[in-house]
Chains A and B, each alone.
Chain A
Amino acid sequence: NAGVTQTPKFQVLKTGQSMTLQCAQDMNHNSMYWYRQDPGMGLRLIYYSASEGTTDKGEVPNGYNVSRLNKREFSLRLESAAPSQTSVYFCASRYIGSVNEQFFGPGTRLTVL
């Protein structure tokens, strides 16, 4: 069981470039989440997918799009990267049931120049 995996681990972009962050989980979880982590602000929810086929905005969705490709995979796309999107991005997943624990991936450190 790999848990939650994310690619790439590091990325440097120029302003205006696009890229997709990939996330996959092998725990048969229903829900998946994308967060960004910035100093002094904790983790903030960008988008989430409560179940396969659905996506919803979180706290800071502007400048991002997501795709829930199948039950395992949930990607985050930056169409036109901006320096304000320099951050560490974490993907998480959760099994819908009595236990609400989320499991986190290792993160992607993104720098936008």
Chain B
Amino acid sequence: AQSVSQHNHHVILSEAASLELGCNYSYGGTVNLFWYVQYPGQHLQLLLKYFSGDPLVKGIKGFEAEFIKSKFSFNLRKPSVQWSDTAEYFCAVIFLSSNTGKLIFGQGTTLQVKP
């Protein structure tokens, strides 16, 4: 079955620390990859996306992610986190073989940044 796995469920960092959140997906051919963020009390917002081309993609608010096809991974990074980055982060994948546009989500990672 097509699946997405996020390794870290709860991450606590101090401000200015570097962040890397892991995301792996099951084999399923060509994929589109996404990272969404959900700030407390708010709805999902798109951080960044990968469809094709340069495997290093840059998103909003200083986030970036690298697609490593051989490892089926799409890890999210930020060099220096801020308190305002406290939120829940979701990795999501569209397996293009299904032709339905269905997003498969990871379980989510809660990031808490201490001031």
Contact = CB atoms under 8 A, between A and B. Distances in A.
Interface residues of B, number: 25
Interface of B: 4, 6, 9, 32, 34, 36, 42-44, 46, 49, 51, 90, 92, 94, 96, 100-108
Contacts of A63: none
A48 B94 CA distance: 14
A96 B49 CA distance: 16
Nearest to A103: B46
A40 to B, nearest CB: 6
Interface of A: 31, 33, 35, 40-45, 48, 50, 56, 58, 90, 92, 94, 96, 98-102, 104-107
Contacts, number: 57
A91 to B, nearest CB: 10
Among B90, B94, B101, B104, the one with the most A-chain Cβ atoms within 10 Å of its Cβ is B101
Contacts of B105: 35, 42-44
Contact of A50 (B46, B100, B106, B107): B100
Given A100-B94, A107-B43, A40 B107 contact: yes
